[in-house]
């Protein structure tokens, strides 16, 4: 990945971001300006290293043609038995013995048993052992070794198992006689995976804690889709940063405010942006309308409702609805990224911009408050909705609620990495603000568990619809 940095000169010129900045300034919004990134602690025994380049993502597709597939929460095991030659099994054994470089553990895949069957020659016993070992390697390289019960608040459903079912990978490998190549092609394409792999190679075996943390974060990349797409947003929650990425180039980065630890911690999601909403309204959740008494208070004080820009209605059954109207004081600010999900999580602007200047930015009820959100929304509308800089400027300056549908697939990944490259491309560690490392480290330290077909955590979904 090439890190363009906060200025993003090439893409800034192409997108007309000078006009966008002028529009934001005209509306009283802070203009984009270089700010210091959260300090990253150097990773164990390694110097800061920029990530390596990765292949360009696949061509874009329309939002209609690229709808998220309906994926079953569990899949049956896919561990076929196929016919293996001794030469193919020897190549598999060599791959297994080298899996430490991928952050995996060779002993998990029974290399001694495979070596014994190779020595005994071809036959049903070799077919069973080699097929089993190959399937286990594919499962862990493609989907991650950490099982779902150790992935706290991990609601991402990785579609790679549909794109590369184990039986198809095995059939291709045996047909091409390229066992190593087929397995290598399952690895994540993101530059951070390669950077972590290089760091693992440089970290002494004696540094067990350092190597364990690297392995854990390499595995987290395998939990995600192998190819993240042409356009995407990625936020690393512990880093408090969001990246806007095009063709694997970070063209803009934005500070974020994420959920407070506890019930309002931000879950890990992979969603698709449906709309960018300029000048949004905010429908106040009933937990505030009723639970905090806001509805009755505003009904009793119309002047306050007008001053705080709330529209209050009471239905015949006594239900009170409170909707904050568009404006600079709206709790969602002047832009919201609509990415429908069962958690009611989204990215949005905020009037409380001073919080972006704090070092540890975990203050929200789960949603992602985003620095320079208007600039981000305008850029997305240009990239993925075919709008011109003048059109998005006019939409924003109208101060009217306007929904701009995305016509190009635009994923959002809410990730959790405690070792990663920062926004300047330097590898570092980040504070484990939600305590999500421990179960991953414990899972990797324990014997490998068979894959159970689970696609995402079975934890309770907590609807986090309060941006305050």
Neighbouring CB atoms inside 10 A of 383's CB total 21
pLDDT of residue 73: 54
pLDDT of residue 53: 29
Which residues contact residue 198 at a Cβ distance below 8 angstroms, ignoring those fewer than 6 apart?
49, 52
Residue 264: exposed, middle, or buried by beta-carbon count in 10 A (0-12, 13-18, 19+)?
middle
Q: Among 375, 357, 356, 376, which Cα is nearest to 257's?
A: 356
pLDDT of residue 458: 83
pLDDT of residue 82: 96
pLDDT of residue 34: 38
Beta-strand runs (E) in 301-356: 310-314, 320-324, 335-338, 347-348
pLDDT of residue 115: 98
Q: How far is CA 178 from the centre of its chain?
A: 31
What does pTM read for this prediction? 0.84
Task: Assess contact for 96 and 106: CB atoms under 8 A.
Answer: yes
pLDDT of residue 68: 41
Tokens of residue 67, six digits: 């709808």
pLDDT of residue 288: 87
HEC-encoded secondary structure of 362-376: EEECCCEEECCHHHH
Q: How far apart are CA 324 and CA 326, in angstroms?
A: 7
Q: How far apart are CA 271 and CA 49, in angstroms?
A: 30
Q: Which long-range contacts (CB under 8 A, 24 or more apart) does 85-88 make?
A: 85/122, 86/118, 86/121, 86/122, 86/126, 87/177, 88/130, 88/173, 88/174, 88/177, 88/179
Residue-wise pLDDT tens for the chain (468 aa)?
Answer: 444 444 344 555 556 655 555 555 444 454 444 333 333 333 333 333 333 322 222 333 333 333 344 444 566 678 899 999 999 999 999 999 999 999 999 999 999 999 999 999 999 999 999 999 999 999 999 999 999 999 999 999 999 999 999 999 999 999 999 999 999 999 999 999 999 999 999 999 999 999 999 999 999 999 999 999 999 999 999 999 999 999 888 999 999 999 999 989 999 999 999 999 999 999 988 888 988 899 999 999 999 999 999 999 999 999 999 999 999 999 999 999 999 999 989 999 999 999 999 999 999 988 999 999 999 999 999 999 999 999 999 999 999 999 999 999 999 999 999 999 999 999 999 999 999 999 999 999 999 999 888 878 888 777 765 555
């Amino acid at each position: 990945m090439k890190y363009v940095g906060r200025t993003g000169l090439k893409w800034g010129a192409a997108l007309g971001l000078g006009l966008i900045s002028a529009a934001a300034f005209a509306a009283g919004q802070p203009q984009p300006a270089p700010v210091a990134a959260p300090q990253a602690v150097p990773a164990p025994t390694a110097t800061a290293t920029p990530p390596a380049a990765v292949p360009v993502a696949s061509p874009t597709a329309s939002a209609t043609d690229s709808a998220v597939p309906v994926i079953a929460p569990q899949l049956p095991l896919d561990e076929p038995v196929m016919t293996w030659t001794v030469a193919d099994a020897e190549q598999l054994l060599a791959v297994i013995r080298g899996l430490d470089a991928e952050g995996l553990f060779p002993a998990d895949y029974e290399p001694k048993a495979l070596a014994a069957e190779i020595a005994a020659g071809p036959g049903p016993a070799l077919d069973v052992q080699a097929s089993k070992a190959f399937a286990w390697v594919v499962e862990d390289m493609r989907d991650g070794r950490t099982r779902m019960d150790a992935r706290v608040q991990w609601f991402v459903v990785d579609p790679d198992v549909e794109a590369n079912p184990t039986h198809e990978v095995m059939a291709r490998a045996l047909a091409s006689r390229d066992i190593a190549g087929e397995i290598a092609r399952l690895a994540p394409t993101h530059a951070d995976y390669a950077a972590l792999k290089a760091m693992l190679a440089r970290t002494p075996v004696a540094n067990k804690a350092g190597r364990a943390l690297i392995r854990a974060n390499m595995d987290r990349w395998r939990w995600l889709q192998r190819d993240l797409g042409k356009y995407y947003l990625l936020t690393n929650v512990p880093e408090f940063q969001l990246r806007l990425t095009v063709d694997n180039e970070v063209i803009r980065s934005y500070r974020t405010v994420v959920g407070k630890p506890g019930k309002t911690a931000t879950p890990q999601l992979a969603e698709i942006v449906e709309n960018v909403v300029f000048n949004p309204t905010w429908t106040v959740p009933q937990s505030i309308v009723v639970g905090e008494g806001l509805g009755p208070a505003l009904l009793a004080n119309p002047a306050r409702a007008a001053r705080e820009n709330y529209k209050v209605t009471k239905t015949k059954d006594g239900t009170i609805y409170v909707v904050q109207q568009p404006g600079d004081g709206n709790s969602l600010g002047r832009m919201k990224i609509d990415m429908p999900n069962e958690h009611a999580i989204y990215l949005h602007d905020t009037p409380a911009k001073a919080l972006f200047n704090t070092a540890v930015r975990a203050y929200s009820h789960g949603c992602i408050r985003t620095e320079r959100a208007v600039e981000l929304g305008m850029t997305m509308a240009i990239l993925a909705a075919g709008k011109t800089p003048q059109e998005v400027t006019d939409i924003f300056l109208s101060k009217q609620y306007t929904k701009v549908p995305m016509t190009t697939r635009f994923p959002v990944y809410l990730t959790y990495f405690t070792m990663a490259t920062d926004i300047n491309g330097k590898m570092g560690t980040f504070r484990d603000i939600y305590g999500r490392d421990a179960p991953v480290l414990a899972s990797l330290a324990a014997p490998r568990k068979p894959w159970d077909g689970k696609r995402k955590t079975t934890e309770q979904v907590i609807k986090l619809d309060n941006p305050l």
